[in-house]
Structure 1
Amino acid sequence: MKCDSHIHIYDRAFVKAGESQVFVENADVAAYRRVQATIGTQRVVIVTPRVYGTDNAVTVDAIRQLGIDNARGVAVLNPGVTDDELAALNDGGIRGIRFTLYTAKNAAVGFDMVEPLAARIAELGWHVQLHWTAEQIVEHEALLHRLPAKIVFDHRARLPLKDGAHHAAFGIVRGLADAGRAWIKLSGPYLDSTAGLENRYADITPMARAWVQAVPERLVWGSDWPHATETHKPDDAFLLDLLAEWTEDDATREQILVTNPAVLYGFAI
């Protein structure tokens, strides 16, 4: 069963009064079911979007609707989370926590809280998902090596176009992946591309292929639906087709879409 390993669900029923973050319309569970039917995926990993802060109820509810056998979640937390809350999130299908630190305005906590929170969730078998810049990965290399939990790097580890696989972050992340400690998401090509949708994000292809050639057994693919950052939203089937341009054979694509996410997120194989 194929897995879309990175989406966000937006449901107004879970937005608190006074929330100022941008809300994405038509991005609830019913809308995502239509995406699944289009792209032919059956499993999904839902990441709590920042409009909800550290309230992960929308993600847990989406997992319930989609069925915990084929849905998992990644939460956003702060140090105030209790052990009982962690247990409830685990029962609800949460399998990781995300640290969006590439820009301070989107951060729920700082770098100083990554290690303490990682220690708490490692006991549950969860991972830490890092949306960091490549420069931040280099700056905090020692921290990464200390983390007791598995690590998932968002959006190709955000390698800059001018350096790609020659950036020092590539070697750091690859080393962690080779050691069995890290995974990389092939997602969000528009976040770094200057070629744009009209040119099929062609400038992302070399670095995506570099990851595929280096650590195919440590990659998962995500649509990043509903593409909250984009004014002109790409077609999800087109984004999945890009994976065929980044890989050389069906066996590798099967590994990235089926085997790897089953291992990482605990789906039945």
Structure 2
Amino acid sequence: MSTQTFVKDADWLDWEASPSKPQFVVPVGAVDAHCHVFGPGNLFPFAPERKYTPCDASRDQLFALRDFLGFEKNVVVQATCHGSDNSALLDVLEYSNDKARGVVTVTPDVTEAELARMHELGVRGVRFNYVKRLVDPKPDEYYRAIVDKIRPLGWHVVLYFEPSDLREKGDFFRSLNVPIAIDHMGRPDVSKPLDNPDFELLQTFMRDNDNVWCKVSCPDRLSLSGAPLYADVVPFAKAIVEEFPDRVLWGTDWPHPNMKKDVPDDGILVDYVPSIATTPALQQKLLVTNPNTLYWS
């Protein structure tokens, strides 16, 4: 156990401890394909280079939420507050009874033995974060060296970026030659029309690359109109789900890092799903078939 004590940021908003029970019953085998754990900091210290210090959010609390919302499995994505120390995430996988998979953050000097251990535990991807308020992005060569090491394992790359990053780095992303999953639809500006150039660039990127997946998650981060309907986000997510039904994923984003106004109710987030995947067939693909194909096949 670490002897370090961490004090969360003064403006940190904790996750909702008593979410509502969703009215929408997710299909059997559903996967929450984007969530995180934080610490606990006394067991799994936060990274010195982090740009935020969160509250604790443990694996037991994650599993309890999974069961409460009706999901069978989780995909846990490494949180930037932990840097490239994936210990907290790997701990989740070790205790998940094969009901969790992981997306890690690694550096180019990661060894084949380390990657092999991660793969055995259930890691299936690495995450590259380009959102500058959260991290300091590295040069292309840094990321390419990592991709060269994970490619033999059949892993994919999860990309977190904003529209300007796709314009700047799109050619590099296309050159990686591994499957890609885009976090939160590339953070579109939902105050703009659906046919705005930034969102069209994302759609074109997916049309031109059949190994690109997209998470239609986090309406709470994108919406100006707000809960419970997140009505301004719906047309964007619905367009992606309907055009690319076999390459979409969804997740709660629990415990909702770096929310500044309020923290979403996870039950309301689940009830949002039928507004973007409007038929049982689309819901089955979004919540069951696609995440199981990418992470458990």
Whether contact under 8 Å (1:79, 1:113) holds in the other structure is yes
> Matches of 1:259 and 1:117 in 2, distance apart?
28
> Matches of 1:251 and 1:181 in 2, distance apart?
21
> Matches of 2:132 and 2:51 in 1, distance apart?
15
Query: Alignment partner of 2:233: what SS?
Result: helix
Whether contact under 8 Å (2:217, 2:252) holds in the other structure is yes
Which residue number corresponds to residue 31 of structure 2?
A: 3
- Amino acid in the other structure paired with 2:35: I
The Cα shift of 1:26 comes to 4.6
Which residue number corresponds to residue 130 of structure 2?
A: 101
Query: Alignment partner of 1:123: what SS?
Result: helix
> Matches of 2:159 and 2:229 in 1, distance apart?
26
**CA distances 1:124-145 after superposition (whole Å, capped 9, x unpaired):** 1000000011221122222122
Structure 2, unmatched stretches of 5+, are 1-28
**CA distances 1:90-120 after superposition (whole Å, capped 9, x unpaired):** 1221111101112165136334422232222
> Matches of 2:151 and 2:47 in 1, distance apart?
33
Whether contact under 8 Å (2:47, 2:85) holds in the other structure is no
Alpha-carbon RMSD across the aligned residues, in angstroms, is 2.0
- Amino acid in the other structure paired with 1:54: S
Which residue number corresponds to residue 174 of structure 1?
A: 206
Whether contact under 8 Å (2:50, 2:80) holds in the other structure is no
> Matches of 2:181 and 2:69 in 1, distance apart?
24
TM-score (norm 1): 0.90
Which residue number corresponds to residue 27 of structure 1?
A: 57
Which residue number corresponds to residue 50 of structure 1?
A: 80
Q: Which has the higher helix share?
A: 1
> Matches of 2:206 and 2:145 in 1, distance apart?
24
The Cα shift of 1:212 comes to 1.2
Corresponding position: 1:83 with 2:115: no
Which residue number corresponds to residue 291 of structure 2?
A: 261
> Matches of 2:47 and 2:241 in 1, distance apart?
44
Out of 225, 232, 244, the position equivalent to 2:262 is: 232
The Cα shift of 1:169 comes to 2.2
Corresponding position: 1:142 with 2:166: no
Whether contact under 8 Å (1:138, 1:172) holds in the other structure is no
**CA distances 1:203-246 after superposition (whole Å, capped 9, x unpaired):** 11110111012101100111000012225211111101111011
Corresponding position: 1:92 with 2:124: no
Structure 1, unmatched stretches of 5+, are none
Which residue number corresponds to residue 158 of structure 1?
A: 187
Whether contact under 8 Å (1:127, 1:151) holds in the other structure is yes
- Amino acid in the other structure paired with 2:172: L
Identity rate, percent:
30
**CA distances 1:40-83 after superposition (whole Å, capped 9, x unpaired):** 0011100111111100111010111112x221000011112122
> Matches of 1:138 and 1:103 in 2, distance apart?
15
Which residue number corresponds to residue 7 of structure 2?
A: none
Which residue number corresponds to residue 204 of structure 1?
A: 233
Corresponding position: 1:213 with 2:242: yes
Q: 1:205 to 1:23 in 2, by over 3 A?
A: same
Which residue number corresponds to residue 130 of structure 1?
A: 159
The Cα shift of 1:33 comes to 1.8
Whether contact under 8 Å (1:153, 1:183) holds in the other structure is yes
The Cα shift of 1:165 comes to 4.7
Range that drifts further, 153-162 or 250-259: 153-162
> Matches of 1:23 and 1:32 in 2, distance apart?
19
> Matches of 1:17 and 1:205 in 2, distance apart?
35
Whether contact under 8 Å (1:156, 1:184) holds in the other structure is yes
Whether contact under 8 Å (1:96, 1:126) holds in the other structure is yes
> Matches of 2:74 and 2:251 in 1, distance apart?
9
Whether contact under 8 Å (1:54, 1:77) holds in the other structure is yes
TM-score (norm 2): 0.82
The Cα shift of 1:121 comes to 0.9
Whether contact under 8 Å (1:2, 1:43) holds in the other structure is yes
> Matches of 1:96 and 1:163 in 2, distance apart?
33
Greater relative CO (CA pairs within 8 A, separation 6+):
2
> Matches of 2:254 and 2:262 in 1, distance apart?
13
Query: Alignment partner of 1:14: what SS?
Result: coil
